[in-house]
Each structure stands twice: as structure tokens, then as C-alpha cells.
Amino acid sequence: MDSYRMWIGGEWLEAESRKTYPVFNPTTGEEIARLAMGGLPEVERAVQAAHRAFAGWSRAPQAERSGALNRIAALMRENVDELARIETMEHGMPIEAAKKVITFASHAMEFNAAAARSLRGEVIHAFPNTVTYLEREPVGVCALITPWNVPLFMICAKVSLALATGNTCVVKPPSINSLIAVRFAEILEKAVLPPGVVNVLTGPGGSVGDALASHPLVNLVGMTGSSETGKRIIASSSRSIKRLVLELGGKNPVILLEDADLDHAAEVLAHHQFFNSGMTCGSPGRYYVHPAVHDAFVEKLVARARKVVVGDPADPRTTMGPVVSAEHRDKVEAYIASGIEQGAKLVCGGERPTAPPLDRGWFVMPTVFIGVTQDMTIAREEIFGPVACVMKYSPSDDVVALANDNVYGLCASVWTKNLAKGLKYGYELRVGSFWVNQHNHLAPEIPWGGIKDSGIGKEASIEGLKEFTQMKLMSYELRG
């Protein structure tokens, strides 16, 4: 069994404790690698390395920082087949989708490298003979804590925002599938960055993640994950004052009005529902469908769900692999059981594949519920699996109030041929991103981030870069 070390201060290190932990293949349930189980000594070492590297990196010419990111992006593109194979092996993402996501990650990195070159300060005209301006500067050492659902993309998105703007960082990937993070560190080594600018620390969130988030030398915590962990980070980070950029969970409402283009809606929404086995924060969480189009839409959604090719993610024909772990499959299955128990009607899926070889892996078939009501657990909580929850609303219902009646506020979409009407919903829905006739339609130029329990701050785009900078007031008087 291959065993992997951590990348700290420009060196490969084992944990002082010599402990390791396993990574599994969700398609077969087999152990595929062992990673170093970082602990408090490694947190200290990594934060100190990032702290030491900050003075040099923050003052490096912008072209140098952007150049380093472009080298990393080029190396990712050169190695896309191998990186995708690892994502498929330890995460279960279908191979063709994994290649696209990794290519998208390298584009995001290049966007951040280029866009940071045009970030500027501002001049303030307050007094004659005095020049007052706002200087945009990096925040400092960033703890970048990432989730398991799109492992390499999440690391690249955060590292490139931090580095492009002159910060240094410690990356803490999720323990469930952190092999890709170690492979990413090998790319960093090849890209030849100054030691300590990026450090990759593997280990459990509850100890390593918590120690990082609360470390006094950490100035910014950029975390993507569940809202529960986000709240824990808010508490533990408050031992000192830090910038927080938190991208958290969602239960995203989708509203289909009576004039929706149902073919288009079913195609786009089924794609986002079942992509990555539903383990995507922006996937449709609950559908509110006008009664006039409810049955026709459900028919199309179910037909599209039945076309999903569930199988070995290494096979290029597969469009949906397993969920990430046995524990997560149990959680998704518990939600399905609760839907049935609370009276929703299962019209597609809901079961595991039983035929070999899929019986060994952690698969859940594409699932569609109808007859869901607002009070059911599956209508309120994030399932993070391939499960569509469809509700038929009554024309007398205040559908905006129903959609807003949830702790999350990540994203939403409305489907209608009446653009003005669609946009009106956009102003009323309490979410961070909103689309008419699209869903989760993203690019490196587009900011992303939720409100309410879905998070704080934006990632991606110029707005995301700004989160990793702070403004300092500078002023001088003109004399003579």
C-alpha cells in the first residue's frame, strides 16, 4: 500500500506521531492508499512556514505570482488524465466529468492569475494638498479548508485566489479523499514556488482543521463545507479576529411556472441533480412546480433520470458513479427512508444496484420523489445525493415565501418564458445566486457564494479575489 507524506515548508514530511489513515475507492470499497495523519505539531510547522514565506511572497511582483499560477495550471493540464484517474478512484467521479472539472479548475487558476493583475487601489479626494488613497494589500496567512465533493477544484479555486493576491496558505483537504491534494502538492513542487508559500496538511477536520482555524497567526479562513462545520469555525476562529470566507450548504429552490419550457428545464435540472451523484452544493434541492405543468414535468424528469448511466466511474460511458463513502450512502438512504415514511411518493430509484460489480460499491440510484410537502425532512435538509424532491404548489400559495422558508440561501432558479416575471422572483428570493431558465451556470468570471446559513463572502471572479485582500488607508501631505 502506497503511503504519502505532507508538503510543509517546501519539504515532504511524515507526521511526528507516525500515524497514517486510509483512503478508500468508493466503487469497490477497497483501501487504496494511506496518508500521513497530521496533528498539532504539523499545524504549527505549516502555519509558521506560511508566516515566514509571507514577507517575500506578498512583496513579489504581480507578474511573478501570476506566472507561478500559470505554471501550476499548465502542469495540471499536462497531467489531466492522471489527475482525473485519481479523482475517479478516490471520489468516484466519472472519468470524463473528472477531466472536465480539472480543466475547469486550471481555467479558474488562469483567470485568477490574470485578473489579479488588474486589481487596483483607490484615490480619495478629501483635502487639498493631501493625497489620500486606499492601498489593496494581501490579508496574510490563509487556512484553506476544503470539502470532499469536488476535491481538486476546491483546492485550486482557493489556492489561486490566495496566491494571486499575495497571501500564503496552508491547505487542509478533507480526510475522506485527500490523495488528490498530495498529488497537487507534487505539482506545486514541480512549479517551484518559494518554500512555505503553499503547505498541504492532511488529517482530521476536528483536530487539524480546528487548530488551523483557531491559530493566532492565521489571518483568513477560507472554508467550503457543511454549515455545521462553518459554525464551528466561526466559534473557534474567534479566539483572534480573522477574515472568514465560508461557502456552506444549500437546499436550493427551483420554481417552475405554468409557462416553463419543460424540455429545457428537465434537461438542465436533471443534469445538475445527478451530476457528481448529487453531491454538489448548487444542485436543485426542492422543486416547486405549478399544477398545470406538474405531471408533464415529472414525466420528463423521470425519463431523464432513467437515462443516467450508473456504473464504474472509470468507464467513459458512465455518467454517474457511487457516492463518496459508505457513511454518506447510509445518510442518503436514511433521507430516502424518511421521505417514504413521511408520505412522499417514490417514482424512480431509491434503491442500490444489486448486480455485480456495482453491489460492492457505495451506489445510490437516481431517485425522484413527488408529493413532497414543505414540512418533510427531505424538503428541509440538504441530502447531498442523487435525490429530486418535487412539490406541487397551489396557485394560491405564496411560492416565494415557501422557497424562502429555509435556513439556507445558496442559489435558486425560476423557469418561465416571461423574463420580467422571472426576474421579479429573483429580487424576492433570499439567495446568493439566481437564474432564470438556467441553474448553477458558473464560470471563473462569475462570483459564487450564499447568504444565511449558506455562507459568508464570495469565491471566484474579481469579487473572490477582493475577499483575499484588505484595504489600507494611506495619506501624505504635499509641502513646498
Q: Is 172 in the site for ligand NAD (CB under 6 A)?
A: yes
Q: Is 410 in the site for ligand NAD (CB under 6 A)?
A: yes
Q: Is 409 in the site for ligand NAD (CB under 6 A)?
A: no
Q: Is 174 in the site for ligand NAD (CB under 6 A)?
A: yes
Active site residue 247: yes
Active-site hit among 281, 348, 389, 411: 281
Q: Is 224 in the site for ligand NAD (CB under 6 A)?
A: yes
To ligand NAD, the closest distance from the beta carbon of 427 in angstroms equals 22
Active-site hit among 247, 333, 459, 467: 247
Output the 3-class SS for the chain. Answer: CCEECEEECCEEECCCCCCEEEEECCCCCCEEEEEECCCHHHHHHHHHHHHHHHHHHHHCCHHHHHHHHHHHHHHHHHCHHHHHHHHHHHHCCCHHHHHHHHHHHHHHHHHHHHHHHHCCCEEECCCCCEEEEEEEEECCEEEEECCCCCHHHHHHHHHHHHHHCCCEEEEECCHHHCHHHHHHHHHHHHHCCCCCCEEECCCCHHHHHHHHHCCCCCCEEEEECCHHHHHHHHHHHCCCCCEEEEECCCCEEEEECCCCCHHHHHHHHHHHHHHHHHCCCCCEEEEEECHHHHHHHHHHHHHHHHCCCECCCCCCCCCECCCCCHHHHHHHHHHHHHHHHCCCEEEECCCCCCCCCHHHCCCCCCEEEECCCCCCHHHHCCCCCCEEEEEECCCCCCHHHHHHCCCEECEEEEECCCHHHHHHHHHHCCCCEEEECCCCCCCCCCCECCEECCEECCECHHHHHHHCEEEEEEEEECCC
Q: Which of 151, 205, 349, 386 binds ligand NAD (CB under 6 A)?
A: 205
Q: Which of 382, 387, 399, 412 binds ligand NAD (CB under 6 A)?
A: 382
Active site residue 30: no
To ligand NAD, the closest distance from the beta carbon of 307 in angstroms equals 26
Q: Is 450 in the site for ligand NAD (CB under 6 A)?
A: yes
Closer Cβ to ligand NAD, 151 or 313, answer by number? 151
Piece of the chain touching ligand NAD by CB under 6 A; list 47-55, 64-72, 220-228, 259-267? 220-228
Q: Is 213 in the site for ligand NAD (CB under 6 A)?
A: yes
Q: Is 7 in the site for ligand NAD (CB under 6 A)?
A: no
Q: Which of 222, 455, 457, 464 binds ligand NAD (CB under 6 A)?
A: 455
To ligand NAD, the closest distance from the beta carbon of 88 in angstroms equals 18
Active site residues per annotation: 247, 281
Q: In the complex, which residues of this chain contact ligand NAD (CB under 6 A)?
A: 145-149, 172, 174-175, 205-206, 209-210, 213, 223-226, 229, 232-233, 247-250, 281, 382, 384, 410, 450, 454-455
